[in-house]
Amino acid sequence: MGARMAQKKIFFLNVLFCSITFIYGCVSQDLRLPSSANEVYKNSDVQQSLMMAAQNNILFAISNESLNDYEKTEIDAKCKNASNPFWAEKLTVYLNYMRQHPEWFSKFHVLEIKKGDHAQIQLQKDLVDGARVLSIQYVMSEVRGKVTFKTQLPCQGSLAEYIGQPLVKTDFDFPSKDQMEQVLAAAPDKEKIDRFDFSSAFLMYLAERGAIFKFSHEQSFEKINKKYVLATALNKLAQEIKKQNFGFVNLFLKKINQNSNQAEVIQLFGLVNDKELKAGLKVDSQTGDVGFIKSQQPSLTYLYLSYRTDTDDVVVAPLTGLNLCLQEQSKFLGSSLRKPADTSEKNSYLRPGFQCDSKVLIDNIQRVEPIQTSE
């Protein structure tokens, strides 16, 4: 009798040990740190195009409207369909075409995508310092009609139920690649502009991971003590990125790419002006906290750092602090044991975002060696 009890006890202990090992294996495998850029981002064509742009110090200005515009078809509140925001896919088309003509990357400083009156591509010259902007403008159109027997419903349902009902389709017209060739083929090389004179190392780091810097035109004009703030900040990040491997930043870039509808092609990395140093993850939603579940519109999920301008210098929240913050947050990333709270998780991944402990950021910036602001 005692021998049987001992055997049963050993059996249950073995089962318990195997279960714990299995659970630990699932979680640890899910949170394994990427060891290379290829693991972080899988689309090598886009990756190569972004890297060519980064090597030429090209920044991307995607208007807030463009970040959230998407094609949709709607019959009523229950029967509608919406695509993912198209800015990344459209940008990919143009960049991959430019990759066939590497010399084109030396023609401009900024590539912007915005809504306009006509579908066109223009190479614009800034009146202040002569910087060149490749402006890609698209047009939105709304087509109204009625459901017929040939209509493909934007929902699951009986076609007969909707025959004759009003239907609205929103479409977008983008300029052709031929227009880009006409504009860039004849353009001379860009001139050196002080506000775009910075190390490309941080842009390259992002490009290798399928990300671009979240840029605005106004941001690049800010100056302090005769130094351009954005150029100085990018130089500091470029120096810091050379010092160590930021494994948990890589991990979150990979997870956002895999789990956010907005970031499955290209994702963003933000730098914001704030008197208090901040860093973390933002989830920008056009529909607000309540409406995002009912809306089919994906939210924008991205990592960010902040900077502030002191009397004579630019202070940037350190990547080291962000990495430590993400290391702490990584325990909350979804594992195979955790079910999403609702089916909209990929539309609003990691909502509502989080902010790093400011003390961690300040402590780490005090340990960073003095950084040269130009190379």
User: In angstroms, rounded to a whole number, what is the distance separating the alpha carbons of residues 83 and 110?
Assistant: 27
User: In angstroms, rounded to a whole number, what is the distance separating the alpha carbons of residues 111 and 109?
Assistant: 7
- Provide CB contacts within 8 A for 326, sequence distance 6+: 248, 249, 251, 252, 303
Q: Where are the domains positioned within the chain?
A: 197-375
Query: 74: which DSSP letter?
Result: E
For residue 241, what are the CA distances in angstroms to 153, 196, 204, 236?
49, 19, 10, 9
- What pLDDT, on a 0 to 100 scale, did the predictor assign at position 287? 55
Of the candidates 224, 188, 205, 208, the one whose C-alpha atom is nearest the C-alpha of residue 103 is: 188
pLDDT in tens, the chain (375 residues): 555 555 555 455 454 444 444 333 333 334 566 655 555 555 688 999 999 999 999 999 999 999 988 888 888 988 888 777 789 999 999 999 999 999 999 999 999 999 999 999 999 999 989 999 999 999 988 889 999 988 888 888 888 889 999 999 888 899 999 999 999 999 999 999 999 999 999 999 999 999 999 999 999 999 998 899 999 999 999 999 988 889 999 999 999 999 998 898 999 999 999 988 899 999 987 655 544 445 557 889 999 999 999 878 899 999 999 999 999 998 887 643 333 444 457 888 998 999 998 888 888 875 544 434 444
- Determine how β-strand 300-309 pairs with β-strand 279-284: antiparallel
Count of CB atoms within 10 A of residue 133's CB?
Answer: 18
Concatenate the DSSP letters of all residues of 290-340 into one string.
Answer: HHTTT--PPPEEEEEEEEEE-SSSEEE--HHHHHHHHHHHGGGS--TT---
Task: Read off the pLDDT of residues 86-136 as tens digits, 9 standing for 90 and up.
Answer: 899 999 999 999 999 999 999 999 999 999 999 999 999 999 899 999 999
